[in-house]
Amino acid sequence: MLLDADIHQRWSDDKAIVKYLPERYQDDGIVAPELLYRNPGGFLKQDEIPKNGGKPGSDIEKIVEDHLDRHDIDYGMFTGNSWFNLAALPNRDYANELARAYNEWLIEECLTVDERFLGSMYVAPKAPQKGAKLIREYGSHPQIRQVMLPGGAEVPYGRPQYWPLYEAAEEMNLAVAIHPFSEGHGTSNPPTGAGHPNSYIEWHTLLGTYYMGQLASIVTEGVLVEYPNLRFGFIEGGYGWLPHFMWRLDKNWKGLRSQAPWLEEKPSHYIRKNVWFASQPVEEPEKPEYHDQILEMMHADETLIFASDYPHWDGDDPMWGLPPMDEEMERAIKFENAMELWDLPANPSELN
Amino acid sequence: MLLDADIHQRWSDDKAIVKYLPERYQDDGIVAPELLYRNPGGFLKQDEIPKNGGKPGSDIEKIVEDHLDRHDIDYGMFTGNSWFNLAALPNRDYANELARAYNEWLIEECLTVDERFLGSMYVAPKAPQKGAKLIREYGSHPQIRQVMLPGGAEVPYGRPQYWPLYEAAEEMNLAVAIHPFSEGHGTSNPPTGAGHPNSYIEWHTLLGTYYMGQLASIVTEGVLVEYPNLRFGFIEGGYGWLPHFMWRLDKNWKGLRSQAPWLEEKPSHYIRKNVWFASQPVEEPEKPEYHDQILEMMHADETLIFASDYPHWDGDDPMWGLPPMDEEMERAIKFENAMELWDLPANPSELN
């Protein structure tokens, strides 16, 4: 079996979304902050341009044929187009309505195409109460298995203001996924403490740092003590940094646990139990054995899931994306771990 | 031989510094932003309180006796008290004068105590032209071997506005060291793209992320192409993240090198050649062999230097701080690498 945690489908025309917006937001098209770091060659694989000439990812049938069928993928998780950047929009109500419109479009026009598709529903991080309502409204759709949050935000995701989202996600048995794109623009913070990087090469190299900030917050603020069944997916932020991060956080907890007295176990316990990391962009170390060593250090047999990032040109092909590894480890990464993250039946037809 | 890259000496009373300030800044004592993340138990080892009751690190003679002599340290680098946070001060001129006053005090009252002490001179990152002048003024003192920059700033350290500092440091044969403390307060950015963490345990866990932001900027902006003999020391930001960071940056460079066409080699080449990382806080992985693996992955035989962080309670003792390792590796970390970073003679009496 093979599960792909990160497939970017998109609408070919903003009208596809605008029609689901309330009338008060229909007149201007969509206004959302865009990433200001230019990716040379654009983000998209040019060999995935649909026959009608739209952008790669905008023809859902083509995704079925070129990706699911070609690679024998059992489940493919739609992650949408993170350019929505709902965390970086100043207007909470508008962001919430964009999230709702996306969810409608996802259910009506994407998930219907093939039962192997799973959906990530969007919420606006600045409107957690409204987001919790959306989760309870759309979260019972059998193919919707997670709630999507953008990687960068005004304040870290461990803060109590977000907890209504987590309460609703746990109640609806949905994972919460984090995906990059909102870092460093709109109302978001500079990507690191160093300030705004100059170019996309820096911005993308630093993906892991945005995730380390969010994960430190989620774990130390006690989110996973309060919601022990909540599952997080960290998508497209890498994983080679995770051993260092878990060691450092565990070590600091030994000396500083008075700052997080609500933690009943060492921090890495919660990460290994409740958090998964997507493989793309795969680590490409100097020597192949380093990859195996990193997998062991991070307990990848429990924590890593495969993702392709289709149809982005820097994505990892399901055939060649992962380096050769132990068979048991490969099985865990290619489907067992994702089955747990999304609580899936072995056969898509059993989803209900 | 043994070199210690991070010894925090301090003045017992602000007057020690104020007397070196120009008259216009003498009336109010010192005004500088303080770290707002409370370290439980304070930062300092209580068994290093001087006999006169001052703060640990304020009695230089005691540092000689309790640290240099006790551990047979050949060279000990003074890093001062990073609470100056000169990058986080709004007033450039005042920050520059604080830096000058610190440098005077360092030379007059610290370096004179023992020839084994080396000094890090301060500059104000917001006043690079003035900082370059300070470097040319104080940098010829034989014990001064590096220029200190705080880890967090308004804009990343690769930007051209800082290059006058680098030009002067290269000319004076001084290393440039970065040390944390200014991240997330004063005029600095939030520590990560996630926003302001809640507690010290988060802030400290994320030290590596601030450094990744700075290092990505310094390397991709071409600082080390323009100043090929400039040497950087990244102090107290950890090192377990470095393999991931170098692999990611090299991989991205392959696909995105049009964004940094001035790089003549892959990014990790510059890091291995021009950048050193201090060992404290030492990584404490789950299994001892993971530490050896990380050392190999990061080319620690070229890149890692020992630091104690004396007199902080979470410092690494020169006796027990490093885990057991291959003898050759230990020699590189304990002195060979630092000798290169600071271009030192084998015997302190030969410094001139």
| B40: chain A residues, CB-CB within 8 Å | 256, 258-259
Alpha helices in chain B (DSSP H): 15-18, 60-63, 70-71, 92-105, 128-138, 163-171, 200-205, 207-220, 223-226, 242-256, 267-274, 288-297, 300-303, 327-331, 337-341
The angle formed by the CA atoms of residues B82, B83 and B85, to the nearest 5 degrees, is 80
Nearest CA in chain B to A180: B193
Instruction: Tell me how far apart the alpha carbons of residues A297 and B35 are, in angstroms, rounded to a whole number.
Output: 33
Residue A130 reports pLDDT greater than 90: yes
| CB contact set of A69 (below 8 Å; sequence gap of 6+) | none
A259 reaches B (C-beta below 8 A): yes
| Residue A254: both structure tokens together | 């030994």
| B159: chain A residues, CB-CB within 8 Å | 198
Alpha helices in chain A (DSSP H): 15-18, 60-63, 70-71, 92-105, 128-138, 163-171, 200-205, 207-220, 223-226, 242-256, 267-274, 288-297, 300-303, 327-331, 337-341
- ipTM of this complex prediction, to 2 decimal places: 0.95
A216 reaches B (C-beta below 8 A): yes
Residue contact B216–A206, C-beta within 8 A: yes
- What is the pLDDT, as a whole number, of residue A239? 98
Q: How far is CA B138 from CA B105, B117, B135, B150, B167, in A?
A: 12, 16, 5, 19, 15
Residue contact A184–B206, C-beta within 8 A: no
Task: pLDDT band for B28, please (50, 70, 90 cuts).
Answer: confident
Task: pLDDT band for B150, please (50, 70, 90 cuts).
Answer: very high
Q: How many CB atoms lie within 10 A of CB A343?
A: 12
- What is the pLDDT, as a whole number, of residue B287? 97
- What is the pLDDT, as a whole number, of residue B41? 82
Residue B82 reports pLDDT greater than 80: no
Chain centre distance of CA A266: 25
| B156: chain A residues, CB-CB within 8 Å | 192, 194-198
Nearest CA in chain A to B178: A194
Closest listed residue to residue B190, CA positions, set B172, B176, B202, B173? B202
Which range among A36-50, A90-104, A335-349, B195-209 shows the weakest confidence by mean pLDDT? A36-50
Q: How far is A253 from chain B (nearest CA, A)?
A: 7
Mean pLDDT over A9-23 rounds to 94
Q: How far is A323 from chain B (nearest CA, A)?
A: 15
Residue contact B252–A204, C-beta within 8 A: yes
Domains identified in chain B and CATH numbers: 3-351 (3.20.20.140)
Instruction: Tell me how far apart the alpha carbons of residues A315 and A233 are, in angstroms, rounded to a whole number.
Output: 18
Q: How far is A327 from chain B (nearest CA, A)?
A: 22
Residue contact A216–B238, C-beta within 8 A: no
For B183-232, the pLDDT digits (tens) are: 998 999 999 999 999 999 999 999 999 999 999 999 999 999 999 999 99
Q: How many CB atoms lie within 10 A of CB A58?
A: 22
B190 reaches A (C-beta below 8 A): yes
pTM value surpassing 0.90:
yes
Nearest to A252 among B189, B190, B201 (CB): B201
Q: How far is A281 from chain B (nearest CA, A)?
A: 9
Residue contact B243–A159, C-beta within 8 A: no
Residue contact A189–B189, C-beta within 8 A: yes
For A276-291, the pLDDT digits (tens) are: 999 999 999 999 999 9
| B256: chain A residues, CB-CB within 8 Å | 39-40, 199-201, 204
- What is the pLDDT, as a whole number, of residue A84? 75
For B285-299, the pLDDT digits (tens) are: 999 999 999 999 999
For B244-287, the pLDDT digits (tens) are: 999 999 999 999 999 999 999 999 999 999 999 999 999 999 99
Task: pLDDT band for A141, please (50, 70, 90 cuts).
Answer: very high
Q: Phi and psi for B219 in degrees, rounded to 5?
A: -75, -50
Instruction: Tell me how far apart the alpha carbons of residues B38 and A325 are, in angstroms, rounded to a whole number.
Output: 44
Residue contact A212–B206, C-beta within 8 A: yes
Task: pLDDT band for B42, please (50, 70, 90 cuts).
Answer: confident
Residue B352 reports pLDDT greater than 80: no
Which residues of chain B from 301 to 340 reach within 8 Å of chain A, CB to CB? 313-314
Mean pLDDT over B331-351 rounds to 95
Residue contact A281–B251, C-beta within 8 A: yes
| CB contact set of B244 (below 8 Å; sequence gap of 6+) | A208, A238, A240, A241, A244, A283, A294
- As a residue count, chain A comes to 352
Closest listed residue to residue B297, CA positions, set A299, A203, A281, A296? A296
Q: How far is A102 from chain B (nearest CA, A)?
A: 24
Mean pLDDT over B85-98 rounds to 94
Q: Which amino acid is at A265?
A: E
Residue contact B248–A281, C-beta within 8 A: yes
For B167-196, the pLDDT digits (tens) are: 999 999 999 999 998 899 899 999 999 999
Instruction: Tell me how far apart the alpha carbons of residues A300 and A185 are, in angstroms, rounded to a whole number.
Output: 32
Nearest CA in chain A to B39: A256
- What is the pLDDT, as a whole number, of residue A7? 97
- As a residue count, chain B comes to 352
A260 reaches B (C-beta below 8 A): yes
Mean pLDDT over B82-104 rounds to 92
Residue A343 reports pLDDT greater than 90: yes
Q: How far is A167 from chain B (nearest CA, A)?
A: 21
Instruction: Tell me how far apart the alpha carbons of residues A7 and A307 are, in angstroms, rounded to a whole number.
Output: 8
Residue contact A202–B217, C-beta within 8 A: yes
Residue contact B259–A293, C-beta within 8 A: no
| B189: chain A residues, CB-CB within 8 Å | 189-190, 192-195
Which range among A207-211, A229-233, B25-29 shows the weakest confidence by mean pLDDT? B25-29
Peptide bond into A22 cis (omega under 30): no
Residue contact A220–B209, C-beta within 8 A: no
A201 reaches B (C-beta below 8 A): yes
Mean pLDDT over A258-266 rounds to 97
- What is the pLDDT, as a whole number, of residue A342? 98
Residue A91 reports pLDDT greater than 90: yes
A261 reaches B (C-beta below 8 A): no
Task: pLDDT band for A66, please (50, 70, 90 cuts).
Answer: very high
Task: pLDDT band for A339, please (50, 70, 90 cuts).
Answer: very high
Please give the mean pLDDT across all residues of chain A: 95
B40 reaches A (C-beta below 8 A): yes
Task: pLDDT band for B306, please (50, 70, 90 cuts).
Answer: very high
CB-count burial class (<10 Å; 0-12, 13-18, 19+) for A106: buried
Q: How far is A344 from chain B (nearest CA, A)?
A: 30
Mean pLDDT over B62-72 rounds to 97
Q: Helix and strand tally (H, E) in chain B?
A: 15, 8
Closest listed residue to residue B166, CA positions, set B81, B244, B275? B275
